A and B are shown apart, each in its own frame.
Chain A
Amino acid sequence: MLSLTLKEVIHQIQQGKICAKELCEKCIARAARVKELNAFTTETHNIAKKQASASAERQATHATLPLDGVPVAVKDNFCTKGIRTTCASHMLESFLPPYNATMVEKLLNNGACLLGKTNLDEFGMGCGSIDSIYGPVRNPWNYHFVCQSLEEAGLQLGSKESHSMTYSQLKARGIHMSAQSRSKVLRQTREAEKMTEDVHCGSDWYIAGGSSGGSAVAVASGVCFGALGSDTGGSVRNPASYCGVVGFKPTYGRLSRHGLIPLVNSLDVPGIFTRTVEDAAILFNHLGGHDVNDSTTVSDPFHKQDLPDISIKDLCIGIPKEYHSPGISEEILNAWKWAADLFEKAGAKVIQVSLPHTQYSIVCYSVLCCCEVASNMARYDGIEFGYRAENNESTEELIAASRHYGFNDVVQGRIFAGNYFLLRQNYEKYFMKAQKVRRLISEDFQKVYSKKVDILLTPTTPTEAPLYSWFSEQDNRTRTAEQDVYTQPVNMAGVPAVSVPVRLSQAGLPVSLQLIGQSFKDHDLLTVAKWFEQQVKFPRLDLSYLD
């Protein structure tokens, strides 16, 4: 049941073939099995069960809502009324929003069941989902689950034996196992070519990407059928790429940011994780539209659309040459080439185009992001909400102490740098300069689209999912600069983009590609993406062996 798509699930619930309550229970059970992936900061299973019951009642009377009974997850930077919303930060560890974000409200009003809030990089800063007070998120691909090992060792997860003695290599996962069981596990399950010993024993693993890693993992691991993330520089598409799911970032201004705790207001867009492109379109249909609470949503009419089957012959696909950057891996490059050829073989016109300012996009982002962060984080003073230090000498001492504890180094560093760039003497040199470069990047896209190019095809990330041990060798800023190169320029221009998983690499990790569309032509983009997805037939992750 959990390997169905969202579309199939909706259909079966509407038909009464699946009971909403049963589906919810299955998802909750799966969540327990994959808990060590650390995708969730807060589990709201009781709430989900209540919502599922309500859905079931509506099922019985044939008065179902469009998303009735569908389990979903929401990134923990969307405000959920009465449910802890932490942004994976000490600053908001006990924050209970008094309202629902518009995106959450729409999901719930359509009958979806909220399974929990997902893990992320603190305040959305990062591309690995490793900088969280709740610990890092782990990619389910090539992941050796402890419960799997335990079973093979004849032990039950949570049993007395599994907690009897401490064992250093599994300690990191909070699971304790006896030395005997460990060697048994190693003997029985090791596959030398596919996994190193570290990965196999759990002391190393592949990162989920970020910053919406938790949401990507929630969908990839079968815990839910759709999840919300936020995409500022690639925070939805990057983890979607690493986790082998569809990650869709709509046009800036299509989805409401009311209730989304912002990272960079002029770049943030709520994003959608699903297993298929069609699923993403379904959620998009129910989430899009003008919101009076968000002045950056457009009041253009928003129409729900199904994705038709199209003839690819009428399309012109652009291949921006600057997306072959120095850091790209062979696997990704070859997948990109293969996909370009696929389009061409099917009859589309495929041309090479140029987006000349691409390589500066990430630099531009680093400046604009730091500046906005410095501004957006100014509200965290501990007085109206958030962590408050024990300091009453002066307001400034109190605020500084609260922020020093509440924010991690990444956040503090960006605030510091951002204020530097915004100083009177630096404003023109850095902030305004970055804004000018942003205009050039945006115009790059406009120029290309004005020349009859419909869609751009690029890689999503320069590599497949990296190992945690490798990734954590460098700091957050360096990694962001490397990993977000292809996703970031899209946010600068505000155009829509979707990451579609294409195939598995030699190492068995997902390789994805990105399709970029024109502003406010989201459905057109998804239509092409759907066609592409049908061609590539990506083998989705199936963790049903854990159940």
Chain B
Amino acid sequence: MVYSNRISLRRLCRLSFLVSRHNRHYSNLSYNPREQEWRSVVGLEIHAQIQSESKLFSGASTKYAGSTNTQVSIFDAAIPGTLPVLNRHIVEAGIRTAAALGCKLSQMSKFDRKHYFYADLPAGYQITQQRHPLARNGKVKYLVYNTDNWNKYSWKTASIIQLQLEQDSGKSLHDADQNRSLIDLNRAGVGLMEIVTAPDFTDGEEASSFVRELVLMLRRLETCSGRMEEGALRVDANISVHRPGEPLGVRTEVKNLNSVKSVGRAIDYEIKRQIGELESGREIVNETRSFDAQSGQTIAMRDKEKLQDYRFMPEPNLLPVFLYDSKSVPMGVDPANVIITDHLLQGLPSSPSKSYERIHDDHKISIRNCVILVNEDGLLKIFDEIVERRDAKALINFLIADFLGVAHARDINLLQCPVPFRHIAEVFDMKTNRYISNDNVTQVLELMFDFPNKTPGEIVKEKELENIQDLEVLQAECEKTLLKHPNVVQRWKVGQQKEKKGRQDPMLKLVNTTMTALNNRANPLVLISIFEKLLSKK
């Protein structure tokens, strides 16, 4: 269908606004031929805060941005004599996440202590699961795409080595004036999932695409908010380079990447830096680096220690976690001490990549639209529910171009959509059937949200927004317009003779003027045909 230019311009603005919103992952580095000499190897360690009321080993609250040190129990502050008590909900969240990432659950998992001194780690050790993690050996398929070139997309698979539960540390704020650190332990002890990938990535684009997929998955599972800006998900990257055929190079670790974009930028910078160092004859030091988002560079952390030894030791105050299904659970065991996994493994949401595949294959939707659809919370569900017997492509365009704009402007959370989906479908139908004009769609949508208890059909009738079908009325209006704008008519005549192809410009003007006069209650194509008829007579 051809839309008039004015309208399509508006569409384009909205689309690019939406696309830029989803553009967080993109890393746009030009391809350097010298880099063909090198292979880069990247592995990720992702720390995701598990959504729960209370912490992993204590009953203190996990709410974000609480008042300093008010969400700290005596255990979190490592007061002597206190002991950890494991939170069932957090273990269950870990189980569901591990299953969704294709991991094999460990029938028995244990906790360990990882020792290092740091002011925000009050006990001098972190309780984690090094030796016997909750789950191992998963696989995640993910989509790598390029928003500059939507045709350049590919499917990749990353292996998950293990998923383990562990404690988050507190926060230290550096007070530069007084040369000290201020420690807030609210975050200390919050439950984390550490997801360790195999070194399966080659650059920032792949790594950041994976992180995006993971964030979406976690949000679907509701086990992590994925809000990297709040620190709910942090990424550490292990990066090394080597020449083809040679063994893996020395790796560095870039820590605490807190946005999808940073993941991409930091990794690409570090790869370049390492290549540069090696080509200059220098060596790569096995060290920890941080990423400075402003300069786009990774910076070495001050660490005199050549090699940190965490001296892992079993956590003696926690017994093993045993997982059973309803068939294998032993008799007489205290239900407070066991986790039966049956109900946890049922009804797991499908992965984002499966959603991309499904929509792409079933409905032949472009990758770009798939990405937008899936990445927008709640939108896919709406699409799935109302797509039946409707034109999928047209529906997606409608949802992305028309519907989303209105929803965003009103800050609506589509996961808790205030209007029934059938209303949205109805508006789409009205548009498709030309019951209302494209120009009025936005208005109708706004009114739909304003009056959730009325059907859009009722609203349109009430507000008199439906297209005028009566040709005589339309013709009359068109004639009025022609009379008002003789110069436009003249231009049209000139245009007609000069170029057969004809710029629609004067026609655009005529149509738009008439539409305005009719309160957009007409199909522009019909108007065009009326004008053509009228003008041909002149």
| A and B directly contacting (CB within 8 A) | yes
Contact A395 B119 (CB under 8 A): yes
The CA-CA distance from A293 to B83 in the complex, in Å, is 7
Contact A375 B119 (CB under 8 A): no
Residues of B within 8 A of A85 (CB): 80
- At the interface, yes or no: A203 with Cβ under 8 Å from chain B? no
**CB-contact partner of A375 in B125, B183, B337, under 8 A:** B125
Residues of A within 8 A of B316 (CB): 264-266, 296, 372
> Nearest chain A CB to B241's CB is how many angstroms away?
26
Residues of A within 8 A of B183 (CB): 383
Residue of B82, B113, B312 with most partner-chain A CB within 10 A: B82
> Nearest chain B CB to A54's CB is how many angstroms away?
26
The CA-CA distance from A383 to B185 in the complex, in Å, is 12
12 extra interface residue pairs, beta carbon distance < 8 Å, beyond A296-B317, A422-B313: A257-B81, A262-B81, A264-B316, A293-B83, A293-B85, A375-B313, A378-B123, A383-B119, A383-B183, A384-B78, A384-B185, A427-B312
- At the interface, yes or no: A338 with Cβ under 8 Å from chain B? no
Contact A260 B81 (CB under 8 A): yes
The CA-CA distance from A73 to B336 in the complex, in Å, is 35
Which residues of A (391-443) have their CB < 8 Å from a CB of B? 392, 395-396, 399, 419, 422-424, 427, 431
The CA-CA distance from A374 to B115 in the complex, in Å, is 10
Which residues of A (240-264) have their CB < 8 Å from a CB of B? 257-262, 264
CB-nearest residue of chain B relative to A256?
A: B83
Q: List 11 A-B contacts (CB under 8 A).
A: A87-B80, A101-B81, A259-B82, A296-B316, A378-B124, A378-B125, A379-B123, A381-B119, A383-B122, A384-B185, A422-B313
**CB-contact partner of A384 in B79, B81, B118, under 8 A:** B79
Given contacts A395-B118, A399-B117, contact A379 B124 (CB under 8 A): yes
- At the interface, yes or no: B490 with Cβ under 8 Å from chain A? no
> Nearest chain B CB to A153's CB is how many angstroms away?
45
> Nearest chain B CB to A434's CB is how many angstroms away?
12
Contact B311 A385 (CB under 8 A): no
**CB-contact partner of A299 in B74, B80, B334, under 8 A:** B334
Given contacts A265-B317, A395-B117, A431-B313, contact A384 B77 (CB under 8 A): yes
The CA-CA distance from A419 to B113 in the complex, in Å, is 13
> Nearest chain B CB to A382's CB is how many angstroms away?
10
Across chains A and B, which 7 residue pairs bring their CB atoms closest together, nearest first? Answer: A378-B124, A422-B311, A265-B316, A266-B316, A379-B78, A261-B80, A259-B81
Residues of A within 8 A of B473 (CB): none
> Nearest chain B CB to A475's CB is how many angstroms away?
25
Residues of A within 8 A of B185 (CB): 384
Which residues of B (69-103) have their CB < 8 Å from a CB of A? 74, 77-86
Interface string of B506-533 (1 = CB under 8 A from A): 0000000000000000000000000000
Contact B78 A371 (CB under 8 A): no
Contact A424 B309 (CB under 8 A): yes
- At the interface, yes or no: B346 with Cβ under 8 Å from chain A? no
- At the interface, yes or no: B180 with Cβ under 8 Å from chain A? yes
Interface on A for B, CB 8 Å cutoff? 78-79, 85, 87, 92, 95, 97-99, 101, 257-262, 264-266, 292-296, 299, 371-372, 374-375, 377-381, 383-385, 392, 395-396, 399, 419, 422-424, 427, 431
CB-nearest residue of chain B relative to A419?
A: B311
Interface string of B193-210 (1 = CB under 8 A from A): 000000000000000000
Residues of A within 8 A of B83 (CB): 257-258, 293-296
> Nearest chain A CB to B236's CB is how many angstroms away?
20
Residues of A within 8 A of B319 (CB): 295-296
Contact A292 B85 (CB under 8 A): yes
Interface on B for A, CB 8 Å cutoff? 74, 77-86, 113, 115, 117-119, 122-125, 179-181, 183, 185, 309, 311-313, 316-319, 334, 336-337
CB-nearest residue of chain B relative to A267?
A: B316
> Nearest chain A CB to B337's CB is how many angstroms away?
7
Contact B123 A423 (CB under 8 A): no
Residues of B within 8 A of A372 (CB): 313, 316
Contact A375 B115 (CB under 8 A): yes
**CB-contact partner of B337 in A99, A299, A419, under 8 A:** A299
The CA-CA distance from A260 to B82 in the complex, in Å, is 8
Residues of B within 8 A of A261 (CB): 80-81
Residue of B80, B181, B336 with most partner-chain A CB within 10 A: B80
> Nearest chain B CB to A459's CB is how many angstroms away?
29
Residues of A within 8 A of B86 (CB): 295
The CA-CA distance from A292 to B319 in the complex, in Å, is 13
The CA-CA distance from A392 to B181 in the complex, in Å, is 11
The CA-CA distance from A125 to B125 in the complex, in Å, is 22
Residues of B within 8 A of A424 (CB): 309, 311
Contact A379 B84 (CB under 8 A): no
The CA-CA distance from A259 to B84 in the complex, in Å, is 12
The CA-CA distance from A425 to B118 in the complex, in Å, is 23
Q: How would you classify the secondary structure of chain A's contact residues: helix, strand, loop or mixed?
A: loop
Given contacts A296-B317, A395-B181, contact A79 B311 (CB under 8 A): no
> Nearest chain A CB to B69's CB is how many angstroms away?
10
CB-nearest residue of chain B relative to A385?
A: B79
Residues of B within 8 A of A293 (CB): 82-83, 85
Residues of A within 8 A of B337 (CB): 299
CB-nearest residue of chain A relative to B113?
A: A375
> Nearest chain A CB to B77's CB is how many angstroms away?
5
Contact B313 A295 (CB under 8 A): no
> Nearest chain B CB to A481's CB is how many angstroms away?
22
Contact A295 B79 (CB under 8 A): no
The CA-CA distance from A399 to B121 in the complex, in Å, is 13
CB-nearest residue of chain A relative to B57?
A: A295
> Nearest chain B CB to A200's CB is how many angstroms away?
41
Residues of B within 8 A of A99 (CB): 74, 79
Contact A371 B313 (CB under 8 A): yes
Contact B179 A381 (CB under 8 A): no
Residue of B77, B317, B318, B337 with most partner-chain A CB within 10 A: B317
Contact A299 B85 (CB under 8 A): no
> Nearest chain A CB to B166's CB is how many angstroms away?
16
The CA-CA distance from A8 to B370 in the complex, in Å, is 82
> Nearest chain B CB to A403's CB is how many angstroms away?
10
CB-nearest residue of chain A relative to B117?
A: A399
The CA-CA distance from A443 to B80 in the complex, in Å, is 32
Contact A378 B115 (CB under 8 A): yes
Contact B81 A423 (CB under 8 A): no
CB-nearest residue of chain A relative to B180?
A: A392
The CA-CA distance from A372 to B77 in the complex, in Å, is 19
Contact A378 B79 (CB under 8 A): no
Residues of A within 8 A of B84 (CB): 295
The CA-CA distance from A87 to B124 in the complex, in Å, is 19
Residue of A85, A98, A375 with most partner-chain B CB within 10 A: A375
> Nearest chain A CB to B91's CB is how many angstroms away?
13
Contact B336 A299 (CB under 8 A): yes
Residues of A within 8 A of B312 (CB): 422, 427
CB-nearest residue of chain A relative to B85?
A: A295
Contact B180 A379 (CB under 8 A): no
Contact A396 B117 (CB under 8 A): yes
Contact A98 B79 (CB under 8 A): yes
Residues of A within 8 A of B85 (CB): 292-293, 295
Residues of A within 8 A of B78 (CB): 379, 384
Residues of B within 8 A of A264 (CB): 316
Residues of A within 8 A of B181 (CB): 395
Contact A95 B309 (CB under 8 A): no
Contact B117 A295 (CB under 8 A): no
The CA-CA distance from A380 to B79 in the complex, in Å, is 10
The CA-CA distance from A95 to B79 in the complex, in Å, is 10
The CA-CA distance from A514 to B84 in the complex, in Å, is 33
The CA-CA distance from A427 to B77 in the complex, in Å, is 28
The CA-CA distance from A294 to B86 in the complex, in Å, is 10
The CA-CA distance from A95 to B77 in the complex, in Å, is 14
**CB-contact partner of B122 in A92, A97, A260, A379, under 8 A:** A379
> Nearest chain B CB to A435's CB is how many angstroms away?
8
The CA-CA distance from A371 to B115 in the complex, in Å, is 12
Residue of B79, B83, B86, B183 with most partner-chain A CB within 10 A: B83
The CA-CA distance from A260 to B319 in the complex, in Å, is 18
The CA-CA distance from A299 to B337 in the complex, in Å, is 9
